[in-house]
Structure 1
């Protein structure tokens, strides 16, 4: 899209990079909306179908933008190029943001819908689910590989109309394939709005705090007596000792007036659901910087490739858009190697089902990202100071693409695992969306950093980032990102070291047996079998 905006819509390179980052940012932040609708109203399958259709409309409009001459400015024959009109820009951005909206609905649901197909109570299926996220990431990279090789070739040889049109047709076929299998899937029914339940816990706990309510022990906390929780389709959650302030939302202030009004009294399960969501926020916040590095893959990394020697033999030139193949191949090769060789070896050393924990895997990715941006800075410095920058082989970019791809393999899959495992039954889609939203926020932060650097160093004509990279100082920008990744890694180490999962701090059987079970009356339930049911 950066190439399209510069070559076809006549935007400057910094503006095109900023617009693409903003567009990607919107797509991933909108995953929160998709997750909300999936969990509260539509379910994951129907949400995927609805938003895939929206995505399809956006792709059709994007194809029309590339096909109809009146939707683009005239071809540039001399500088300055004629700019795009407001109507041309509006049509293109309308198409792109329909695609972003479609992405927002699809992304948080696909991985969780896939994981839903495995029965956690079945040992064999449970073991297969451990490998699912690795192979899910493998499939994403396979799609990316086809996109940056086959589709880039089609676009280069046949033009932008075919370049956008073929994926549009394939997208339509994918929707049909998904629908055909509808009677084979396992479905999780919508459980209502988790965001509403979160707000209820906050409101009730604050209200009870100002009323002087004190939680002296778990015996004053309210839970349903029924086997299932009061959250439709969700299992009960045992009480934990973190964030005790929120326990005030489940305090029974008057046993004679037990109410189903959640704005006055919440259950232990509802409070614990909110606690589980709060626990993952520090991990989420301490991994956003990694997404800033990923944003460079689709912007400045490709811009570098576009002005380097891409010849492969005397008769073939590698398309600039195909250079991310270094990253995609990394994922395709590393995932099977990791799953088949590294995980079994690590499992014998650590005893952990996945070889290493999700948090450790994320940490590896964050650590590698530091060297990815460091290599990008060093190589760009060498390219810029070379006697013939345009004669430098594109293969010099291999280290930065390879290392970013390695960081992604470890961190992306680790985050998928972590946010799915730490989520409760009613927050799986929202937890997945929270992880994906950091990719969007990272893209926005990348745009902000570009603008700040551009403004602080003299603008698009004199600053570090100019239309002509040979006159720019892009390596300085990469060093800034290296520093950000380094500081972020140290912050993450502290967060991961202090992290306590949702199974941490549960009361003992003796403590939990005192948990009040109320069904119209105030009494103490001492049946530990009920606790074991809750804990399971």
Structure 2
């Protein structure tokens, strides 16, 4: 499912800016805005898809609906390229059709696809992980391996889209090139249906956001109430008819974040309400300890989520400043000219090569050394990935310093691209395992979506950092660190700045990780 999804998503994304500027004849600025807006939508819709899966339909039904919507949207994208070909025999027919008609069809299709793909992205990983029994040690280890191969397939699909789909587009036109994402994604739907009898299904337990809001509102209402020293006095009855927490396993009370405990304090008003209507409670005034503890788990994970974000700010340089650096380098390797944008292939290849080594060699060796089922704890994996991104930024800075005034082969960039790719292996795998493994059962799909939102937020932060750096360094008519002509700028200073910020972020992450482990119940 992930491969079908990845080829469809990247097959459109990698071609979209070129399609808008050539076939749709948009300006570079308008095309860039259109692509950025669509990408932002694709990164935001997974949260809505996750909420729908966890609260109403379940992951399987959500994926079935999402597949249908996404395929319909991609077919419209394909039609936007096909219709002009069918009508080009007559200028009058083209004029009657209207010059903007294909563009309208395109953008309707794009945003239908964004909605459908958003429903697929968080559900594929969480639904796959749901197939493993956490009560079985061998299946827990297999689930960790599944997450490793999930990231591996992400990179394989991206590589296939950026090579095969682009080649078809260049050699056989837009209509055939844009038909591939729709056809490939459509092939995934019967595969998903075929395995329905063997899947394990998690029952949706109501909107997780509703449960979170209930705890916050109840705690605020009892702001002046002090939680009791004896936690057994807190309300901890799991009611069978309460759809918000139905089927949830009991979570024992933990110390820390005591302000949330106020939501479980049985106040006089709660006792009076129960006397009027026995067996009922107002969930916006009184919440069970289990529901409160779910909110505490999320609150403890948020600082970790924030500190992971900067990794994706650094990795975003692979498709922006690394490419600008490559343009100014010697792109000739013997008789072959290497386009700077294709150097990102080394980023994908490093992931494809390292994941099997990671899963089949490093993790089993770590299991033997540490005696832990997961081999390397998820937070330690993330920390290693953050450290590798710092080294990649330092490598880019050294290459840029060596390049100044000296013809330098573009192959020196392999180190920085491979460094970011290696960091992706540790950080992304560790992040998915952390958010899924630590999340309450009712919120696993939402937490998987939060992990993906880290990627989107990192891209947004990268744009802000680049704009801020250029604004601050180009004052007074100076070219700045990142001018149009990089030979007049100081990309090396920018990369050193990113490495320095990465070190600060790594220290912050280590503090958050240690605090998370110390506050987590045994």
TM range (shorter): 0.7 to 0.9
In the TM superposition, residue 428 of structure 1 has moved relative to its aligned partner by: 0.3
Work out whether residues 235 and 264 of structure 2, in 8 Å CA contact, stay in contact via their aligned partners in 1. Answer: yes
Cα–Cα, structure 1 residues 271 and 289, in superposed 2: closer, same or farther, change >3 Å?
A: same
Cα–Cα, structure 1 residues 172 and 26, in superposed 2: closer, same or farther, change >3 Å?
A: same
| Number of the residue aligned with 1:504 | 521
Matched, 1:423 2:439: yes
Given candidates 488, 494, 501, the residue that maps to 1:477 is 494
In the TM superposition, residue 290 of structure 1 has moved relative to its aligned partner by: 0.7
Cα–Cα, structure 1 residues 226 and 47, in superposed 2: closer, same or farther, change >3 Å?
A: closer
Work out whether residues 259 and 265 of structure 1, in 8 Å CA contact, stay in contact via their aligned partners in 2. Answer: no
Please give the alpha-carbon distance, in whole angstroms, between the structure 2 residues aligned to 1:54 and 1:400: 39
Please give the alpha-carbon distance, in whole angstroms, between the structure 2 residues aligned to 1:222 and 1:282: 28
| Number of the residue aligned with 2:283 | 262
Please give the alpha-carbon distance, in whole angstroms, between the structure 1 residues aligned to 2:486 and 2:189: 41
Given candidates 141, 161, 165, the residue that maps to 2:179 is 165
Cα–Cα, structure 1 residues 225 and 180, in superposed 2: closer, same or farther, change >3 Å?
A: closer
Please give the alpha-carbon distance, in whole angstroms, between the structure 1 residues aligned to 2:175 and 2:163: 17
Please give the alpha-carbon distance, in whole angstroms, between the structure 2 residues aligned to 1:411 and 1:44: 25
| Number of the residue aligned with 2:17 | 5
What CA deviation, in whole Å up to 9, does each residue of 1:468-490 have, x standing for no partner?
55555444433332232121111
Counting only pairs closer than 5 Å after superposition, residues 426-445 of structure 1 correspond to structure 2 as 426-445=442-461
| Number of the residue aligned with 2:346 | 326
Cα–Cα, structure 1 residues 188 and 225, in superposed 2: closer, same or farther, change >3 Å?
A: closer
Cα–Cα, structure 1 residues 23 and 453, in superposed 2: closer, same or farther, change >3 Å?
A: farther
Matched, 1:185 2:208: no
Matched, 1:239 2:239: no
Work out whether residues 228 and 235 of structure 1, in 8 Å CA contact, stay in contact via their aligned partners in 2. Answer: no
| Number of the residue aligned with 2:229 | 216
Number of equivalent positions: 484
What CA deviation, in whole Å up to 9, does each residue of 1:96-130 have, x standing for no partner?
44444333322211111000011222333233112
Cα–Cα, structure 1 residues 501 and 462, in superposed 2: closer, same or farther, change >3 Å?
A: same
TM-score (normalised: structure 1): 0.81
Please give the alpha-carbon distance, in whole angstroms, between the structure 2 residues aligned to 1:209 and 1:385: 65
Please give the alpha-carbon distance, in whole angstroms, between the structure 1 residues aligned to 2:283 and 2:247: 17
Unaligned regions of 5+ residues in structure 2, if any?
1-12, 86-98
495-504 or 322-331, larger mean C-alpha shift:
495-504
Counting only pairs closer than 5 Å after superposition, residues 17-32 of structure 1 correspond to structure 2 as 20=35, 23-32=38-47
Cα–Cα, structure 1 residues 418 and 24, in superposed 2: closer, same or farther, change >3 Å?
A: same
| Number of the residue aligned with 2:406 | 386
Work out whether residues 149 and 325 of structure 1, in 8 Å CA contact, stay in contact via their aligned partners in 2. Answer: no
Given candidates 395, 406, 414, the residue that maps to 2:422 is 406
Given candidates 134, 146, 149, the residue that maps to 1:135 is 149
Work out whether residues 81 and 175 of structure 2, in 8 Å CA contact, stay in contact via their aligned partners in 1. Answer: yes
Cα–Cα, structure 1 residues 270 and 399, in superposed 2: closer, same or farther, change >3 Å?
A: same
Given candidates 40, 52, 69, the residue that maps to 2:55 is 40
What CA deviation, in whole Å up to 9, does each residue of 1:43-77 have, x standing for no partner?
1112223233333344334445556669xxxxxxx
Unaligned regions of 5+ residues in structure 1, if any?
71-84, 506-536
Cα–Cα, structure 1 residues 299 and 99, in superposed 2: closer, same or farther, change >3 Å?
A: farther
In the TM superposition, residue 87 of structure 1 has moved relative to its aligned partner by: 8.2
| Number of the residue aligned with 2:5 | none
445-454 or 183-192, larger mean C-alpha shift:
445-454
217-226 or 397-406, larger mean C-alpha shift:
217-226
Aligned residue for 1:223, secondary structure, equals coil
Cα–Cα, structure 1 residues 3 and 464, in superposed 2: closer, same or farther, change >3 Å?
A: farther
Please give the alpha-carbon distance, in whole angstroms, between the structure 2 residues aligned to 1:172 and 1:207: 50
Given candidates 261, 264, 276, the residue that maps to 1:250 is 264
Please give the alpha-carbon distance, in whole angstroms, between the structure 1 residues aligned to 2:127 and 2:457: 24
Cα–Cα, structure 1 residues 275 and 164, in superposed 2: closer, same or farther, change >3 Å?
A: same
In the TM superposition, residue 224 of structure 1 has moved relative to its aligned partner by: 2.1
Pairwise CA RMSD: 3.2
Work out whether residues 152 and 319 of structure 1, in 8 Å CA contact, stay in contact via their aligned partners in 2. Answer: no
Matched, 1:377 2:391: no
Cα–Cα, structure 1 residues 149 and 283, in superposed 2: closer, same or farther, change >3 Å?
A: same
Please give the alpha-carbon distance, in whole angstroms, between the structure 1 residues aligned to 2:323 and 2:81: 21
| Number of the residue aligned with 1:54 | 69
90-99 or 294-303, larger mean C-alpha shift:
90-99
Please give the alpha-carbon distance, in whole angstroms, between the structure 2 residues aligned to 1:440 and 1:28: 6
Aligned residue for 2:236, secondary structure, equals strand
TM-score (normalised: structure 2): 0.83
Aligned residue for 1:240, secondary structure, equals coil
Cα–Cα, structure 1 residues 87 and 468, in superposed 2: closer, same or farther, change >3 Å?
A: farther
What CA deviation, in whole Å up to 9, does each residue of 1:175-213 have, x standing for no partner?
232223222211112111111111111111121233x35
In the TM superposition, residue 410 of structure 1 has moved relative to its aligned partner by: 0.2
Aligned residue for 2:222, secondary structure, equals helix
Q: Which has the higher contact order (CA 8 A, sep 6+)?
A: 1
Work out whether residues 84 and 102 of structure 2, in 8 Å CA contact, stay in contact via their aligned partners in 1. Answer: no
Please give the alpha-carbon distance, in whole angstroms, between the structure 2 residues aligned to 1:147 and 1:30: 22
- Structure with the bigger percentage of helix: 2
| Number of the residue aligned with 1:282 | 303
Please give the alpha-carbon distance, in whole angstroms, between the structure 1 residues aligned to 2:393 and 2:518: 31
Aligned residue for 1:209, secondary structure, equals coil
Matched, 1:301 2:316: no
| Number of the residue aligned with 2:96 | none
| Number of the residue aligned with 2:92 | none
Please give the alpha-carbon distance, in whole angstroms, between the structure 1 residues aligned to 2:404 and 2:31: 22
Cα–Cα, structure 1 residues 298 and 67, in superposed 2: closer, same or farther, change >3 Å?
A: farther
